[in-house]
Structures are given as C-alpha cells and as structure tokens.
Amino acid sequence: MALQEQLDKFKKQQEKCQSTLTSIAASNKATNKKSTFVPAAPSANARTPAPAVKFSNDTERLQHINSIRKAPVGAQIKRVIDLLLETRQAFTPEQINETCYVDTNANKAVFDSLRNNPKVNYDGKRFSYKSKHDLKDKTQLLHLIRKFLEGIAVIDLKDAYPTVMEDLQALKAAGQIWLLSNFDSQEDIAYPNDPRVPLKVDDDLKQLFRGIELPRDMIDIERDLQKNGMKPATNTAQRRARSEVHGISSKQKPKKKKHEITKRTKLTNAHLPELFRT
C-alpha cells in the first residue's frame, strides 16, 4: 500500500541522515587529533552545534494508521459506525479518513459494505447514522409509543437519539407510558398509558385477575393471546430457534440432587450434631 511505501521511505531517510551525521562527527574528531596548534577562542558570531534531530516523532502515528487500514473490513466498518453513532453527524469519506483513519475511497470493500449497512445512511456524498425509528425528541417518542398499543421493545428505541433512555424514564415518571419487563427474555417493553382514559377497576375483578394461573412457558402465553385475537409483542419460538443456531441453549440446567447426610458423612461442626439430623 502507498502508506507502507511512505513508511519504508521515511525509515531509509532516517538511516541515511544518521549515517551522514555519524561520518561528519568522526571526521571532525580525527581532524582535532591531528591539529597541533592551540585553537583560538570562539568568537561571538560562531555557530553553536545544532541539537540531535529525532526522526521518530511521527512513526507511532503512521504505524497506528497502517494497523487500522490493514484491519479486517468488519473492524473498519465498526469503527466508522461508532463514530457516526457518537457524533450523530454526517461525514464525507475524506472527513472519515481524517477522523478515524478509515480510508473508504481506497478500500472498495469497506465503502460498499458501509453504504449497504442497515445502520448507515448514504446520500451520495455523506455517511450518517440510521436508527430504526427516526426520532428527535421526547414528543416524537411518545407519539410513536402510542401507535404501538401492544407495546414496543425498548431495544428498538435506545439508539434513536442520545437522550432517549432519559426521556423514557421521564415519560414513565409522568405516567404517560409503562415500562414492563418481558417474562421470558427479560427485555423492557414500552406501553402507552393515555391519562385521558382513566379506568376504575373493582376489587373483585382485581382478585379474579390475580387468581388466574398463567402458563409457565412463554410460548403457551403467546398462543393463548393469538387465540383471543391479540398480537404478542414477542416471538419466543423464533428467539429460541435463533439461539439454538448460535449454540445457546434456552433450557435451564437441571438442579443437582441434594445428598442427604448419613452416619458416614463427616461432620465439620461436631459440637452441633442437631444441625445434621435427617
């Protein structure tokens, strides 16, 4: 690559300059030894020797840039997406190169993958971050949640804009939304809570509702919701199938059988035998 050639050329220049300085110093030393006359006092206009020049001031930066550009395509794309997510600004390929040293113009694979990435928006000139929902503030966030009466996953909202998580907590504190955890996946779901429609529930109905025993498996709960014409906010069967593909088992590990203490069991607290009686 052009950067590696420049780095090699730079190192050769260092070696050449260092060799020249060494030969000059050796020549001056030999001349001083051969001279027998006493040198005159230095005049005021005499030049002082220049300090040694360090040729490695920029070497570390060039090596860092070279390591980034030699990294896999996925690593370079992640570096650019992190930049777009943190800044929430649009960057040209030249600006990306200056900021995070990823040269998209020189690497076609990086440019094409970045342009087709679902998290990146490209308008023909600049790259910018693309969230799942185009939201700007808390008002738009509340308006979106009210469209999803069956609930919307918080994970689909957390990258909408920088302060979206704080706005969700503010909406919850104001009583405008509910944030409930999914029973199976433990993911938060945001539900709208319209204060214009207050509901008063009798205590008998509350006790009846709380007395209903729900299925222990989330798949059975989703099936019952579908039978009653309601769309579940989750798809446990699909999530478990995806986990099995990636080698993650959703089944709980069987509990080990507890061993009962018998007469053969060696007691460590011999002075408290009543604690070990079966």
pTM for the structure as a whole: 0.50
Look at domain 59-129 and name its CATH class. mainly alpha
Confidence of residue 37 (pLDDT cuts 50, 70, 90): very low
Q: Per-residue pLDDT tens for 156-211? A: 999 999 999 999 999 999 989 999 886 655 688 999 987 666 677 888 988 888 88
Question: Which fold, 138-192?
Answer: Arc Repressor Mutant, subunit A (1.10.10)
Domain ranges of the chain: 59-129, 138-192, 203-244
Q: Looking at per-residue confidence, does 244 or 259 come out higher?
A: 244
Q: Given this model, what pLDDT does residue 57 score?
A: 58
- Do 59-129 and 138-192 agree at the fold level? yes
* Tokens of residue 30, six digits: 């030999």
* Tokens of residue 191, six digits: 């539900």
Q: Given this model, what pLDDT does residue 265 score?
A: 56
* Tokens of residue 274, six digits: 């009543």
Determine the Cα–Cα distance for residues 102 and 78; give it in Å rounded to an integer: 10
Residue 105 backbone zone (phi > 0: left; psi -120 to 50: alpha; other: beta): alpha
